[in-house]
Structure 1
Amino acid sequence: MAQPRLLVTMGDPNGIGPEVVAKALARPDVRAAAELAVVGLRSVLAPWLERAGAGGVEVVEPESAPGFVPRFGEVDAQAGRLAHRWVEFAAGECLAGRAAAMVTAPVNKAAFALAGIRETGHQEVLQRVSGAETVLTMLATGRLRCVHLSTHKPLREACAFVTREHVRRALVLTDREFCRWGLERARIAVAALNPHAGEGGLIGREEVDEIVPAVEDARAAGVDARGPFPADSVFNRAIAGEFDAVLVMYHDQGHIAVKVHGFERSVSVNLGLPFIRTSVDHGTAFDIAGRGIANAESMAEAMLLAARLARGAGLAEEGRG
Structure 2
Amino acid sequence: MNKAIIAITMGDPAGIGAEIIVKALNNKDIYEKANPVVVGSSNFLKDAVNLIPSNLKINPVESVDDIKGEYGTIDVMDLENIQLSDIQYGVVDKKAGKAAVEYIFKAIELAKEKKIDAVVTGPINKEAINAAGFHYSGHTEIFAEKTETDDYAMMLADDEMKVIHVSTHVSLREACDLVKKERILTVINLADQALKSLSIKEPKIAVAGLNPHCGEQGLFGSEEAREISPAVKEAQKAGINAEGPISPDTIFSKVRGGQYDIAVVMYHDQGHIPMKVIGFQYNQKLEKWESVSGVNITVGLPIIRTSVDHGTAFEIAGEGKANQESMIEAIEMAIQFTEN
Question: What is the distance in 2 between the residues matched to 1:234 and 1:57?
Answer: 42
Q: Provide the residue aligned with 1:16 in structure 2.
A: 16
Query: What SS does structure 2 have at the residue aligned with 1:37?
Result: strand
Whether 1:294 aligns to 2:322 is yes
Q: Residues 198-223 of structure 1: CA distance to partner in whole angstroms, max 9, x if unpaired?
A: 11112110101110011011111221
Whether 1:199 aligns to 2:216 is yes
Question: What is the distance in 2 between the residues matched to 1:52 and 1:146?
Answer: 36
Deviation of 1:23 after TM superposition, in Å, equals 0.7
Deviation of 1:63 after TM superposition, in Å, equals 4.5
Whether 1:310 aligns to 2:338 is yes
Deviation of 1:66 after TM superposition, in Å, equals 5.7
Question: What is the distance in 1 between the residues matched to 2:76 and 2:319?
Answer: 23
Q: Residues 112-150 of structure 1: CA distance to partner in whole angstroms, max 9, x if unpaired?
A: 111011112211111111011122111111100000111
Q: Provide the residue aligned with 2:234 in structure 1.
A: 217
56, 67, 71: which is aligned to 1:54?
Answer: 56
Q: TM-score, normalised by structure 1?
A: 0.93
Contact conserved, 2:82 with 2:95, CA < 8 A, in 1? no
Q: Provide the residue aligned with 1:163 in structure 2.
A: 180
Question: What is the distance in 1 between the residues matched to 2:255 and 2:84?
Answer: 50
Query: What SS does structure 1 have at the residue aligned with 2:328?
Result: helix
Question: What is the distance in 2 between the residues matched to 1:142 and 1:177?
Answer: 15
Q: Provide the residue aligned with 2:189 in structure 1.
A: 172
151, 154, 158: which is aligned to 1:137?
Answer: 154
Deviation of 1:184 after TM superposition, in Å, equals 2.4
Contact conserved, 1:26 with 1:53, CA < 8 A, in 2? no
Question: What is the distance in 2 between the residues matched to 1:181 and 1:24?
Answer: 22
Matched positions, count: 312
Q: Provide the residue aligned with 2:133 in structure 1.
A: 116
Question: What is the distance in 2 between the residues matched to 1:79 and 1:298?
Answer: 22
Can you give the 5+ residue segments of structure 2 that lack an aligned partner in the other structure? 58-72, 281-291
Q: Residues 208-252 of structure 1: CA distance to partner in whole angstroms, max 9, x if unpaired?
A: 111001101111122111011111111111111111110001111
- Which amino acid in the other structure matches residue 17 of structure 2? G
Query: What SS does structure 1 have at the residue aligned with 2:162?
Result: strand
Contact conserved, 2:87 with 2:93, CA < 8 A, in 1? no
Q: Provide the residue aligned with 2:304 in structure 1.
A: 276
Change (3 A) 1:67 1:298: closer
Whether 1:101 aligns to 2:102 is no
Question: What is the distance in 1 between the residues matched to 2:239 and 2:80?
Answer: 47
Deviation of 1:174 after TM superposition, in Å, equals 1.6
Deviation of 1:165 after TM superposition, in Å, equals 1.1
Contact conserved, 2:198 with 2:336, CA < 8 A, in 1? no
Whether 1:86 aligns to 2:103 is yes
Deviation of 1:65 after TM superposition, in Å, equals 3.6
Deviates more, 1:172-181 or 1:32-41: 172-181
Contact conserved, 2:43 with 2:84, CA < 8 A, in 1? no
Q: Residues 24-50 of structure 1: CA distance to partner in whole angstroms, max 9, x if unpaired?
A: 111222332310010001011112134
Contact conserved, 1:148 with 1:247, CA < 8 A, in 2? yes
Question: What is the distance in 2 between the residues matched to 1:76 and 1:40?
Answer: 16
Query: What SS does structure 2 have at the residue aligned with 1:189?
Result: strand
Can you give the 5+ residue segments of structure 1 that lack an aligned partner in the other structure? 313-321
- Aligned residues: percent identity? 40
Question: What is the distance in 2 between the residues matched to 1:25 and 1:67?
Answer: 21
